[in-house]
Amino acid sequence: MSGVPAAPETVPHPEPPTVAFVCLHGAAKSVLAAACFERLAEARGVRVRALAAGTEPDPEIAPAVLRALLAEGIDLRGERPRSVTPEDLAAAAAIVSFGPDLSRLAPPGRSIVCWDDVPALSEDFEAGRAAILARLPALLEELRATSGTVDR
């Protein structure tokens, strides 16, 4: 015995599961959903990540989405919409589509949740936001139950 206490063992934390939110332009619905999903998960003490992407990404996030999120303390200025990739969908624990057909990008047999009835944020921001926010708690609970997410 050296008299020196042993260093505590560190247990590596697995990567938290990711939810891929995909809309056509990756600039509005998917961005709002991903940001609000991560905030909800954090508030409930659940380790998850959210990815926002588009099948035909715009060059910028929609200004109305940036303003609304900034007002809630979520600063995405400097972020840009990105293209969804087959690797994104293969790695995702859950996939939510706001309309685009992802069948050619997603692995065969993968379940894709379709939220294509959410109003366009450019036409009725509050109605679209409300529709997204209403669905996020159930999605989080389903992910928590099925993927063994780790509470913080």
Nearest to 59 by CA among 23, 27, 98, 88: 27
What residues make up the domain containing 72? 18-142
Specify the pLDDT at position 151: 60
Q: Show the CA angle centred on residue 83, arms to residues 81 and 85, nearest 5°.
A: 145
Number of folded domains that form the chain: 1
**Of 12 and 144, the one with more pLDDT:** 144
Residue 4 belongs to a domain: no
Q: How far apart are CA 132 and CA 137, in angstroms?
A: 10
CATH of the domain at 56: 3.40.50.2300
Question: What dihedral do alpha carbons 42, 43, 45, 48 form, nearest 10°?
Answer: -30
**Of 92 and 147, the one with more pLDDT:** 92
User: What is the mean predicted confidence (pLDDT) over 11-25?
Assistant: 86
pLDDT single digits (tens) 101-125: 999 999 999 999 999 999 999 999 9
Residue 113 belongs to a domain: yes
Residue 2 belongs to a domain: no
Label the pairing between strands 49-54 and 113-114: unpaired
pLDDT single digits (tens) 54-89: 999 999 999 999 999 999 999 999 999 999 999 999
pLDDT single digits (tens) 32-51: 999 999 999 999 999 999 99
**Of 112 and 4, the one with more pLDDT:** 112
Q: How far apart are CA 67 and CA 102, in angstroms?
A: 29
Residue 96 belongs to a domain: yes
- Enter the pTM of the model: 0.88
How many CB atoms neighbour CB 140 within 10 A?
Answer: 20
Specify the pLDDT at position 144: 86
Residue 10 belongs to a domain: no
Specify the pLDDT at position 65: 96
**Of 48 and 1, the one with more pLDDT:** 48
Tell me what percent of the chain is helix, strand and coil, each rounded to the nearest 5: 35, 15, 50
SS3 152: coil
The separation between CA 92 and the C-alpha centre of its own chain, rounded to angstroms, equals: 10
Residue 48 belongs to a domain: yes
Specify the pLDDT at position 15: 85
